[in-house]
Amino acid sequence: MGRLEGKRAVIMGATRRGNMGQAIAKRFMEEGAAVIVSGRSREGLEDFAAETGAIAIPCDVASRAQIQDLADRVMADHGGIDIAVNAAAIGSPAKFEEETEEQIDDILSIIFKGGLFFMQVMVGAMKRDRAIGRGGSIINISSAVADIMSDDHCSYMGAKAGLNHMTRFVAYEYGKHGIRANILSPGLTITPMLGDYKMPGLVEAYEREYPLGRITTVEDIANAALFMASDECFMTGQTFHVTGGLTLRRNPTAEEVDASIAAAMKA
């Protein structure tokens, strides 16, 4: 306990009950951090804040101006930002030839542009009034599909890969300020977003590809984020694949998923 004592953490994308952002926020608070949760839904944030004691500040990650306002408020009220986690996400599977401009724009605005805006603002906040070498930790929640294939997620995969490369740039450029920037890449994870698509047999199709025999949980993500946020982490520009070994193999194909769902529905 106390690994983040005295740290101030901003966590973007903590609006839906039980999602990665909320799991990370809880874990950080258990280790002594003052946690500010943010995202688009005021209601979701305020419910979480009432339950946990976190501080809720709504913000749209697709708006650089809103992220700047968020950072300015945290700096004014808490004196600085030590940890910044971007867990904002959007899922929109589509066949490659059928993906619409609206779907592509939504994905790029949240994942690519939002990720860039978040890092631009947070490195500025971490540099402000800091001696060189003190810095902070930026963590972007990416996805295993930035590195391995998955059917029907072309724009999502491309946006996540772009986010990863931008994170490495920040690590390269801002290490001299003591700022670490790393990537946390889950495999398929039980989250509220998965619930929008989950059907009997879907999880089982993925579990067969995981060497450790199960898919990722939000607790797995939170524990990895804790290490990345702590002073114990002497790493930057790196990708943590929290996937139970999925990247040693592959995601199941769409046909395999459909077959697993069909078999489960018949059982």
Closest listed residue to residue 153, CA positions, set 16, 251, 29: 251
Residues 210 and 197: their CA atoms lie apart, in Å, by 20
Q: Which amino acid is at 118?
A: F
Q: Which residue has the tokens 């004014």?
A: 76
C-alpha distances (whole Å) from 256 to each of 143, 147, 156 are 20, 20, 21
The token duo for 90 is 């959007």
Query: What strands lie across the sheet with 55-56, from one edge to the other?
Result: 55-56, 34-38, 8-12, 83-86, 136-141, 179-186, 239-242
Residues 214 and 208: their CA atoms lie apart, in Å, by 8
Residues 131 and 79: their CA atoms lie apart, in Å, by 14
C-alpha distances (whole Å) from 144 to each of 67, 155, 159 are 26, 14, 12
Distance of CA 169 to the CA centre of its chain: 18
| Whether 241 contacts 247, CB under 8 Å | yes
* Nearest 10 degrees: Cα torsion 84, 119, 115, 171: -90
| Whether 155 contacts 143, CB under 8 Å | no
197 is catalytic: no
Catalytic residue (one of 156, 174, 206, 210): 156
By annotation, the residues acting in catalysis are 156
